[in-house]
Structure 1
Amino acid sequence: MTALVAARPGVANPWVAFLARRLGRLLLSLAVLVTLAFGMIHLIPGDPVRAALGVTAPLELVDARREALGLNDPLATQFVDYVRALFSGDLGISMSSGVPVSETIGQRLPATASLAIAAFVVVMLVAVPLGLGMAVLTRGGRRRGTELGFTSTSAVVAAIPEFLLAVGLVFVFGVTLGWFPVAGRGGASSYVLPVLALSLGPALLLARMVRVEALAVLDEDFVRTARAKRLPQLRVYLRHVFPNALTSTLTIGGLLLSGMIVGTVLVENVFAWPGMGMTIVSSILAKDYPVVQGIVLVYGAAVLLVNLVVDVLLAVADPRSTIREG
């Protein structure tokens, strides 16, 4: 890593070049995202203002709302105004309520963010120890029954969509047993079922990945050397096995976090969670396209930022290969 940071004379610092490339990709992706979000209203057949206000709305009200939203301006002018407004934090005005979209998102974002972050923490706390533990238990073909049970169970659970898993959790633990609330965001108990619905499948999927990577590392020569020195087993696993399995864990973990951010849309609607997922569904039904635009931008930007952070963490964990390839 020192050799990478200490650049040769006349050669750009590889870290600076790496970050510049990643930021360039991020900006390009954001530009595409903004363009697609802008085109959302214009690609939808019919008049979005009329659709939002209803067929019985007076023509004068429809025309006034179109004028207020700038929809009578040329398309290029609308796009420039839209981008300029984004730089000032203005995501538009709701067609239904007249409330600024940024205000609506600001009220809903904390609920969605807290749910996604809690689910990701659970995934990492469950997947990494479980994957390492299963690798140790099943190393060298031992405990075939345990290996088969783990791989079969994890494959089945990971294949269940979050929506169906959420419904099942509500029925069993909310309705039948009455252990946890099934709707709304209240105390810590209200997080249990939605977090489980979001994290259970990804945790088992990531645990399988960690197990595979850990099994490969356990057969490396440096692990055999560490064992020959009679180092404590826990120290061998934590200092030698886990760091070398970290690259794949970070990669898959980042992808899973991106998926969980999007997965909150369905899970929130099952649990009546007052976040952006519920808001975007209700806005789609009400044809409130500025709100949909704003939430799509936030979701997309969150996924892109997660990918950027994962790329940087991968570069820190494995600088030689990551920076050279990046």
Structure 2
Amino acid sequence: MTAILTVTMNPSIDVSASTEKVVPVRKLRCTNVRHDPGGGGVNVARMIKRLGGDCRALYPAGGAAGHRLRHLLDEEGILSIPIQAAAETRESFTVVDQANRDQYRFLLPGAPLSEAEWQACLDRVAALVEPPRYIVASGSLPPGVPDDFFARLARVAALIDARIMLDTSGPALAAALEAGVHLVKPNLREFRDLTGLPLDREGDWERAAEALVHAGKADIVALTLGDQGALLVSRDVHLRTRAIPVEVVSAVGAGDSFLAGLVWRLSVGDGLADAFRYAVATGTAALLTPGTELARKRDTDRLYRQLMPHRTPDRNRKRI
């Protein structure tokens, strides 16, 4: 049985390139062009495969771009579960300015899905002959999909005895947490938007994460903090690690890589501390690759060996 299923409601073809200098009006000749399958859950599936795991990826796909998306995933050995959509799958593109190494990211909106199309995604998960242990729901929702889609998916996950791991933002995140998830992975900006709090200090982050856990909205909160590292909170475990200093080439896919490392290591039986440490290493490794390329396993393993998690002071809870 494949233990992990990813669900990506707004997949894309990610195009990346570089140009000598980004300036207005002029034609900008590009080099280093590459096309990758994209969207939150798609990237998680690709990263899990790179790390040595196995995963199924469910996503709506339409038109020539949707056909190409499946072809690109097939080339990477990802088992696809495409759900036919009438509208063309979107594209996004990233351009690197070689003069100053700035990165420009352009995300095109997803085409609307009909009620029949998004409901077909839920029905397909519910009907899986071999239900997964983990469902990774990651990325944005395209037009036409209700804000409570991930909440509905969480209820489907409960019916098939799967644990849902969530990485989204805005109203979709808030609605899913009302239904309850196993793990949620916001970044700091998303966490501030969710709580409505400034969350300026480290203690604020931890208290806000604890509040979600104790309210029963998430069993685990994994908060990514960019160059400040990451924090993980559950009822029994509080873990904090600083960022690993590296020279950043591209930040594209770092959050997806973090989540992939975390879910994969949990799926093979690692405890939270080791899985968290591996997640930080995987997210950091993604910073070392250009454009839309994901982390390399050799970089992840090297960084993992460097990293030891820092435990918060004892609060009469069990520590690992």
Which has the higher Rg, Structure 1 or Structure 2? 1
Greater RCO structure (CA 8 Å; 6+ sep): 1
Bin for the TM-score computed over the shorter chain? under 0.3
Q: Which one has a larger percent strand, Structure 1 or Structure 2? A: 2
Normalised TM-score (structure 1): 0.22
